[in-house]
Structure 1
Amino acid sequence: MAQERIARLATIAARTWMRTLDDRLGISYAEQQRKAGTPAAILPVAEALLADKPEHLFPRRPQDRLSDDKPWGFRMAVPALLYNRGELYNLAVERGTLSEEERYKINEHIVQTLIMLSQLPFPKHLSQVPEIAGGHHEKMDASGYPRRLTRAQMSPLARMMAIADIFEALTAIDRPYKKGKTLSEALAIMSRMQDEQRIDPELFALFLRSGVYLDYAQRFMQAQQLDLVDIASLLGRPRNPQQPFDHST
């Protein structure tokens, strides 16, 4: 949210209303504990329309923190709070729709993936499963998570998994929070991601040249998503203007 809108939000939040009902009736024990540090108001009471209150803050418990020795090599910034349900705080998120705490909660799934898989007795031929499954959010320039690995620190299989995961996520139609991209839209986004060192450029080129993307698209994507793709352009090669766009270019 832009700063001028945040300022406008603060103006709206400062408006007051008169509360005549006890806000401690019928609440859970956990809510009672969070409100315990704030004296009950004498009714009726004027309150701000929106506010960040102490009871909105959920401290992070010791078991919710990453251990100091970090045996799995996690390098993630852990928010001090488990949740922050402040009304102004959540409405004034500057970028995207998620707060710092919500973003970490989503990203934490890969932490749990590595912790759980690393404790399973995989046979030798499956010994790379934790690294492959746990590396699909890493980036070639070490800006990913949870371990901030570089390209050289990732196995080819883990880098392949990252490409497959992103392609599936971009084109999936079963996500309630977004519409699935068309084939050309998804591959254009991934082409930019390779330029930004977020995915392996060599493996992305192999992904295109091999036709794996098309095999997947024909099996799992909807007909309306299967538009024309300029593979030569995605690979950085000039296309013959007399030649029509073709999946096999």
Structure 2
Amino acid sequence: IKQHEEAQKALMESLIELIAQAIDEKSPYTAGHCARVPELALMLARAAEASDKAPFDDFCFRNEDEYREFRIGAWLHDCGKITTPEHVVDKGTKLETIYNRIHEIRTRFEVLWRDAEIQFLQAVMDQPEMEPQLRNVLVKKRQQLQEDFAFIAKLNQGGEFVSDDQLRRLDSIAMTTWQRHFDDRLGLSPPEQLRRGDAEESLPVTEPLLADKPQHIIEYTKPKHYAEHLHIDMDIPEHLYNLGERYNLAVARGTLTREDRFKIQEHMIGTIRMLDALPLPPELSNVPRFASTHHETLKGTGYPRKLNAQQLSIPERIMAVADIFEALTAADRPYKTPKSVSESIAILHRMVESGDIDRDVFELFLSSGVYRQYAERYLQPEQLDEVPLQRYLKHQRK
């Protein structure tokens, strides 16, 4: 019987690791994350058990079941991501959906470029003596189009904060018009046809260069409702997605709209609902908590439940630090430059100072050397730089 029980436990943990591996392979942007976070969390948990300093002097896993419970929770911490669309997780530019719509915008600029050439040639035919002046107008128009597209293209990358002046320029460019001569109702998928509607229009149509159209709004297929006992406390956007061109380009920082961000954060709700549906034995009753609280903050601004310091245990605080450090230093994600150890520690320290993550866990992470052990095992050699420990451990020396 004992052998059978152990075999069942081994099978269950293998299936859990298989799920984590599938999630890692689902998106190159999160490659290896589900496997490395448990490793780092367990390293930090062992350091907490070995510490004789408060608040860890009374902390320990009382038996193998409690240790296993934490390990399984760590492995399942992102299981809800199996439901998150890759094109949202992988969204590398503001106009990206299944593909980067900057190519559509560039084509419209190409249309304007050719329109300017045609207008120039027609004007020269009518007034050949004005050719030098008309050519100057064409050159200036071309230059303006080049500058405007370069501005939109850079804005699309989301690498810098968008200022009010940039928003005004975006609006000015958006109001530029171009002529569409083809019916935009042709070749649509059934969902696109529903959003587009049957309204006829006489061609050609004057279109704004950048638009937020009704068909850019994608509604929920069913109402968002979460069982009360799950205690979900998140602000739900009005729409599932808003693909508006101006709306997306105006995102102030990064590439994600409010709708995109919620869709990504919703993976925590998926995690909670999946694990809540499992008939977990009593010795694994804390697995849903350990798997679902690494995005909470001590000051109560996190998700999905807006828990605060009084509600977060040491293992949960450990999970938060492990999750953040792995994400900052991961070197196997395309289009993302991994941060060095010192840069990542500096970011963690700022999060400590702002009340997001636990100071004691952060200082244990440094003083125990876990950060260095993990870095030497998983990071690239060029990421392994010196960390000014004395700057961050002042609180501990007092």
Post-superposition CA distance 1:74-126 (Å, at most 9, x none): 11000010010111111111233211101111111111111111221223332
Query: Does residue 58 of structure 1 match 2:228?
Result: no
Q: Following superposition of structure 1 onto structure 2, how do residues 132-211 of structure 1 map, counting pairs within 5 Å?
A: 132-211=290-369
Post-superposition CA distance 1:165-217 (Å, at most 9, x none): 01101100122242111111111111111111111111111111111111111
Q: Which residue of 1 aligns with 2:163?
A: 2
Q: Which residue of 2 aligns with 1:14?
A: 175
Q: Following superposition of structure 1 onto structure 2, how do residues 215-226 of structure 1 map, counting pairs within 5 Å?
A: 215-226=373-384
Post-superposition CA distance 1:131-188 (Å, at most 9, x none): 0110000000001111010111012111100000011011001222421111111111
Higher relative contact order (CA 8 A, sep 6+): 2
For residue 238 of structure 1, report the CA deviation from its aligned partner.
11
Query: Does residue 125 of structure 1 match 2:286?
Result: no
Matched residues in 2 for 1:181 and 1:95: separation?
Answer: 19
Q: What SS does structure 2 have at the residue aligned with 1:137?
A: coil
Q: Which residue of 2 aligns with 1:244?
A: none
Amino acid in the other structure paired with 2:366: L
Matched residues in 2 for 1:134 and 1:87: separation?
Answer: 34
Matched residues in 1 for 2:164 and 2:258: separation?
Answer: 18
For residue 71 of structure 1, report the CA deviation from its aligned partner.
2.2
Q: Which residue of 2 aligns with 1:245?
A: none
- Structure 1 outlier segments of 4+, above 6 Å: none
Q: What SS does structure 2 have at the residue aligned with 1:141?
A: coil
Change in 2 beyond 3 A, CA 1:177/1:138: farther
Matched residues in 2 for 1:123 and 1:211: separation?
Answer: 35
- Paired residue total: 236
For residue 10 of structure 1, report the CA deviation from its aligned partner.
1.1
Query: Does residue 80 of structure 1 match 2:238?
Result: yes
Change in 2 beyond 3 A, CA 1:238/1:166: closer
Q: Which has the higher helix share?
A: 2
Matched residues in 1 for 2:202 and 2:333: separation?
Answer: 46
Post-superposition CA distance 1:44-85 (Å, at most 9, x none): 12111111111111122334x133x53211110000100101
Matched residues in 2 for 1:26 and 1:175: separation?
Answer: 35
Matched residues in 2 for 1:237 and 1:62: separation?
Answer: 50
Matched residues in 1 for 2:335 and 2:393: separation?
Answer: 31
Q: What SS does structure 1 have at the residue aligned with 2:228?
A: coil
Amino acid in the other structure paired with 1:58: I
The answer to which of 87-96 and 213-222 deviates more is 87-96
Matched residues in 1 for 2:333 and 2:229: separation?
Answer: 34
Query: Does residue 235 of structure 1 match 2:396?
Result: no
Structure 1 residue runs without a partner (length 5+): 240-249
Matched residues in 2 for 1:161 and 1:19: separation?
Answer: 53
Structure 2 residue runs without a partner (length 5+): 1-161
TM-score by structure 1 length? 0.90
What RMSD in Å do the two structures reach over aligned CA positions? 1.7
Q: What SS does structure 1 have at the residue aligned with 2:234?
A: coil
Matched residues in 2 for 1:34 and 1:226: separation?
Answer: 51
